[in-house]
Amino acid sequence: MGLRIIPHSLTDGAVLTSTPAPVAGLGADNLKLSDRGLVYRVLGDAVDLHADLPAAARVGGILIHRHSLSTAATWRVRIYSDVGLTGALQYDSGFVQAVPAKSLGDLDWGVDPLGAAIGQVDYSYLVIEPRDVVARSIRIEVSDPGTSLIQIGRLFVGPVIRPQFGFAWGLSLAWERETKRTRTAAGGLRVEASAPWRKLKLDLEWITDTGRTAFAELLRDTGSGGEIWLSARTGDGGQLEADNAILGVLTTDQPLVRQPGQRYTHTIEIEEA
């Protein structure tokens, strides 16, 4: 499948409700902001989250980000054509593993069983293929047997940009930290390092006339500092796909450049939120 992008979140303007009720002060509206100090939290090992969108819209990608789910967790997404989870059922993922499984090459043979999930991954996403569906309400069920609480930092749901051609060679992926190094009076080295975050850069060299519109809207409506979700290796599975899937902000306003052969080029630089 390759590169997939959610250019904005429709649920930021949605009415969100939760069963069971969230912990006081940690309600579902916290899912509308990418702030590491804000979370949505419920007590127990299962949650049923509903979203009524303000208007009918196309949905192709669903992401829950910065969650507390274990490798045993599963989730299910259903999308409906009318408010209140009514109307036609447009999409049903069924219950699937919330934390992605390791690929065969990722497995520690003799230690990991087949199908073992990737550790230390705090985001889960689904991409609807081959095209978006029209939605007015969304139901997300999460189950994490044996846990005492479920916590999610961000819900990001929206249409998906599916470029006809992939990115060029030279994708850049880095983990960065704010690190402070000081010396003690005795000459010892003291290091204070923040939690790491990722930065990704890729070049698109074959944006068609048809695809140009989606990227022009991305530049106009989101732009530098705007939040998007991007998966550069959708469908590859394992740690490779997980590492290259980022919810973050565009760090620069790169132009769409017209090239010979009825194509455009564009560079995307994103920093993890």
Quote the CA–CA distance of 241 and 237 in Å, as a whole number.
Answer: 5
Would you state the pLDDT for residue 114? 86
Quote the CA–CA distance of 8 and 167 in Å, as a whole number.
Answer: 21
Would you state the pLDDT for residue 259? 95
Would you state the pLDDT for residue 119? 83
> Which amino acid, one-letter code, is at 160?
V
Residue range 121-161, pLDDT digits in tens:
899 999 999 999 999 999 999 999 999 999 999 999 999 99
Q: Residue 215 half-sphere exposure, CB side, CA atoms within 13 Å?
A: 26
Quote the CA–CA distance of 97 and 133 in Å, as a whole number.
Answer: 22
Would you state the pLDDT for residue 150? 98
Residue percentage of the chain with pLDDT more than 90 = 89
Residue owning tokens 């550069």: 232
Q: Above 80 in pLDDT, residue 75?
A: yes
Q: Which of 100-109, 141-150, 260-269 has the lowest mean pLDDT?
A: 100-109
Task: Please check whether residue 197 is in contact with residue 272, taking contact to mean a CB–CB distance below 8 angstroms.
Answer: yes
Residue percentage of the chain with pLDDT more than 70 = 100
Would you state the pLDDT for residue 198? 97
Average the pLDDT over 90-98 and give the result: 97
Quote the CA–CA distance of 75 and 239 in Å, as a whole number.
Answer: 20
Would you state the pLDDT for residue 252? 92
Residue owning tokens 């402070």: 180
Residue range 13-31, pLDDT digits in tens:
999 999 999 999 999 999 9
Would you state the pLDDT for residue 67? 97
Q: What angle do CA 205, 211, 212 make, to 5 degrees?
A: 75
> Which amino acid, one-letter code, is at 72?
A
Under DSSP, the state recorded for 218 is H
Please provide the average confidence, as pLDDT, over all residues in the chain. Answer: 95
Q: Nearest-CA neighbor of 49 among 61, 63, 33?
A: 63
Own/partner contacts of 256-260, CB < 8 Å, gap of 24 or more, are 256/207, 256/212, 256/215, 256/216, 256/219, 259/205
Structural domain boundaries of the chain? 10-158, 172-272
Q: Which two tokens stand for residue 238?
A: 């394992």
Residue range 211-243, pLDDT digits in tens:
999 999 999 999 889 999 999 999 999 999 999
> What letters, b where the CB count within 10 A reaches 16 and e where it falls short, cover 221-230?
ebeeeebbbb
Would you state the pLDDT for residue 120? 81
Q: Above 80 in pLDDT, residue 1?
A: no
> Domain 10-158: which CATH class?
mainly beta
